[in-house]
Structure 1
Amino acid sequence: MKKGINQWCYPSGTPLSNVLSWTKEAGFDAIELNVGKAGDIGLTMDTTPAEAQEIKTQILKAGLTIESLSTALLWEYPLSSNIAEEREKGKHIVKKMLELAAAMELDAVLVVPGVVTPDVAYDACYQDSLQAIKDLAPYAEQLNVKIAIENVWNQFLLSPIEMAAYIDDANSEFVGAYFDVGNVLQFGYPEQWIRILGPRIVKVHVKDFNKSAGNMTGFTNLLAGDVNWKAVMSELRNIDYSGALTAELTAYKSSPSALAHDTAGHLDLLLSMQSSPAARN
C-alpha cells in the first residue's frame, strides 16, 4: 500500500507547487487532487485535458504519483436531486472528472452518489442516483476510469450490505467503492465494511473519529480516535488492497505543512501493523 494525501489537507488557496513540495518532503508517495470551480487551485471544471496532462507532469517531476480525483461539487449538484437540471449538472461534473482522470491516466474518480434530505426521500435518492450512475458507467468504461462511490455523511447507504448491493445494482465493473474508514465510526465498524465490500473497494480514504463527540467535530487525526486500525489494516490486506491509503483531514490553521509530516508518520505506523481482525489497537 502507498501513502497518499488529499489536497484538502492543505489550506484552501495553497499553491499547487507548495502542495506538491510539502507532500514530497513529508515522505508521501501519492497526492489526490480535487476538481473545483473555475478559479480554484489546480484542477477545475475549466481545465482542459492538455492542462491536466501538464499538472500530471508537475506531479511526476515532484517525485509523486497520482491515482484518483475527488470533488466537493456533487454536494451542490447531487445526482439524487429532485430537480432534473441539477442531476444533469451533477452528471456533467462526473463526466468532466472522468475526462480529466483519463487525460492523466488515473484509475478512478470519487463520486458522492446522492444526499437524502427532508425533500429527497431515501428511496428516491437510491433510484435517481443509481440511474445516474448507470448512465455514466458506459462513459467510465470508454475512458477506462472507475467511478468510486464514497460512503459519506449523506444519510444514505448506511450499511455495508446496502452499499454492496447498490454497487452491484449498477452492474458495471467500472463502478466500485471509495471506502472512507473514519466516516463509518458513528454507525458501524470499518473492518466489517472492508470485509463485506471486499473486492468492490477501489480506493481508500483514512481519517479517525471520536465516537463520544457524535458529530462532525469528532473527526480527528489518525490514531487519535476510535478506529481499530489493526483490524482495518488486517482486513485491507485480506482483500489484497494495494492502492493508496489517502489521508483526508482538516488542514492545520498554522504551519500547514506540519499536517503532512504528522500524517506521514502515522501512516508509517499503520502500514507496519501486523494483527488479526479481532485485535484491538
Structure 2
Amino acid sequence: MKTTTAPQNRREFLTVTLASTTLGAASIGLAAESAPAIAAPAVVRPPTGKKLLLATKLSMIAREAEGRKLTVVERLRMAAQAGFDGVDFDEAAGYTPEQVRAAVQESGVFVHNAINHEHWNKRLTSPKPEDRAQARANLEHCLRVSHAAGGSGVLIVVGRGEDGPAEEIEERCRQEILAVLPLAASLGQHILVENVWNRMMYDHDRGPEQSPDRFIRFVDSFRSPWVGMYYDLGNHWKYGQPAEWIRAFGHRCVKLDVKGFSRAKNKFTDITSAEDDVPWAEIRKALADIHFHGWATCEVGGGNVQRLTQVRQQMQKAFGLEA
C-alpha cells in the first residue's frame, strides 16, 4: 500500500497549500464562467438631496383610461409622469408583498408607504377580540408590503372613540401595536398614527385651539423609534394650529398628509385653492424649525395625469417649492 509523505517543513507545506488553493480558485472560476448569470433584483430609489419629497396616494390615480382598466404598473407610472417623487400604496389589502415589489420594479416608481383602509372597520380598539386580531394581521400585512416595496412605514387609523372610554380603547390598541412592534423593527418600518376625525385624542365637539398633547402622550407611551405620527395638515386645522402641532410633535412627525381645508366653510378643499385657509406660510416655518426631511403625500380628489400634475403643482405652492 502506497503512503503519501506529508511536507517535511513549513516552506514545503506552504507550497502545497498555495498550489491547492490556486487550483481550487481556478476550478471555481471555471464553474462561475460556465454557470448562467443570475440577475440581481432591481432596486428602485427615490430622488436624493431633497428636503421634501412629494407623493400621491395610489387611490388618487385613475383606474381606467379610454375604457380600459389600468394595471397597477401603469398607474404607478402615471404618478411619475405627473412629477411626483413617489407613491403611498394605500390599496395594500388587494396585493401581496411580492406583487407590490414586482410592480415597483417594473414601473421604476418608488413606493414609500403602505395603507390598508380596512383599519376603519377592523379596528385595534374594537371590543371584539376577533376584530382586533384581524386588525393586527392587516397591519402586519402592510408592514410586509411596505418593506417589499422599499418603503419605510405604514399609516394607521388606530380606532374609533365610539368603541369605549378613552383610556380603555387607547390601551387596547396600544397592546396590539406592542405585539406588532418586533415585526416592524425587524423590517425597519415605522407604524405611523394618523390624526383623523375618529373621536380619539382630541375633542370632536370643541372648536379650534386644541393641543396635540394626547397624540404625543400616546406615541411616547411606546418609547420606541418605530412609532410616530403621519401628521395630516388639513384634518385638524379645524381643531388646532398646525404650525404649533408640528413644533410640538418634533421628531415624532415622520410623514405628512396634505389637503386643503376651509375653516370658514367647514369643508375640505383643494390645496391652496381660493377656499383653502390652511396657514401654509406658518407650516413652512414650523417644518423648517423642526428640520423636517421626508415625505408629504397629497390626499385630495385625483384622476388622470393632468389632474395629478395640477395637485403636485398645488403642493409645490403650499410648501414654497420651485415648480
TM range (shorter): 0.7 to 0.9
Which of 1 and 2 has greater Rg?
A: 2
Q: 1:241 to 1:58 in 2, by over 3 A?
A: farther
Q: For the Cα contact (< 8 Å) 1:79–1:86, is it kept in 2?
A: yes
CA contact (8 A) 2:116 2:139 kept: no
Q: Distance in 1 between matches of 2:166 and 2:191?
A: 21
Task: After superposing the two structures, state which structure 1 stretch, 134-143 or 144-153, moved more.
Answer: 134-143
Partner of 1:26: 82
> Stretches of 4+ moved more than 6 A in 1?
none
Q: Which residue of 2 aligns with 1:136?
A: 180
Normalised to the residue count of structure 1, the TM-score between the two structures is 0.85
Moved more, 149-158 or 119-128: 119-128
Residue 319 of structure 2 aligns with which residue?
271
Identity %: 24
Does the Cα contact within 8 Å between 2:56 and 2:87 map onto a contact in 1?
yes
Partner Cα separation in structure 2 for residue 58 and residue 121 of structure 1: 47
Say which of 227, 250, 255 aligns to 1:198: 250
Partner of 2:268: 219
Confirm or deny: 8 A CA contact 1:116 1:122 kept in the other structure: yes
Q: Which residue of 2 aligns with 1:90?
A: 135
Query: 3-state DSSP class of the match of 2:55?
Result: strand
Structure 1 counterpart SS, 2:143: helix
- Describe the shift of the 1:36–1:53 C-alpha distance in structure 2 as closer, same or farther (beyond 3 A): closer
Superposed displacement of residue 103, structure 1: 1.8
Matched, 1:145 2:201: no
Alignment CA distance shift 1:191-1:22 (3 Å)? same
Give, in angstroms, the shift of residue 12 of structure 1. 5.7
- Post-superposition shift, 1:138? 1.7
2: CA distance, partners of 1:145 / 1:209: 30
- Aligned 8 A contact 2:247 2:286 in 1: yes
Higher relative contact order (CA 8 A, sep 6+): 1
Paired position in structure 1 for 2:116:
71
CA–CA distance in structure 1, aligned partners of residues 309 and 159 of structure 2: 34
Could you say which residue in structure 1 is the equivalent of 2:235?
183
Aligned residues: 256
Specify the code of the residue in structure 2 equivalent to 1:98.
L
Change in CA separation of 1:76 and 1:36 when aligned onto 2, cut-off 3 Å:
farther
**Structure 2 equivalent of residue 230 of structure 1:** 281
Unaligned runs of 5+ in 1: 39-43, 275-281
| C-alpha distance in 2 between matches for 1:27 and 1:147 | 27
The Cα RMSD (Å) is: 1.9
| 1:268 Cα deviation after fit | 2.0
For residue 164 of structure 1, what is the aligned residue in structure 2? 216
- Equivalent pair of 1:2/1:29 in contact (CA under 8 Å): yes
Partner SS, residue 221 of structure 2? helix
CA–CA distance in structure 2, aligned partners of residues 36 and 174 of structure 1: 20
Q: Distance in 2 between matches of 1:222 and 1:108?
A: 24
User: Any idea what SS the aligned residue of 1:266 has?
Assistant: helix
1:279 corresponds in structure 2 to none
Partner Cα separation in structure 2 for residue 95 and residue 22 of structure 1: 28
The one-letter code of the counterpart of 1:220 is T
* Residue 164 of structure 2: aligned partner: 120
Contact kept, 8 Å, 2:146 with 2:153, in 1: the verdict is yes
Specify the alignment match of 1:277 in structure 2: none
CA contact (8 A) 2:92 2:115 kept: no
Q: Residues 8 and 249 of structure 1 are in contact (CA less than 8 Å); yes or no, is this contact kept in structure 2?
A: no
Do 1:233 and 1:273's aligned partners in 2 also have CA atoms closer than 8 Å?
Answer: no
Which amino acid counterpart does residue 151 of structure 1 have in structure 2?
N
Specify the alignment match of 1:241 in structure 2.
292
Residues 106-153 of structure 1, C-alpha deviation per residue, up to 9 Å, x if partnerless?
111111111111x43322221111111112112211111110111111
Q: Which moved more, 1:13-22 or 1:193-202?
A: 13-22
The structural deviation recorded for 1:248 is: 0.9
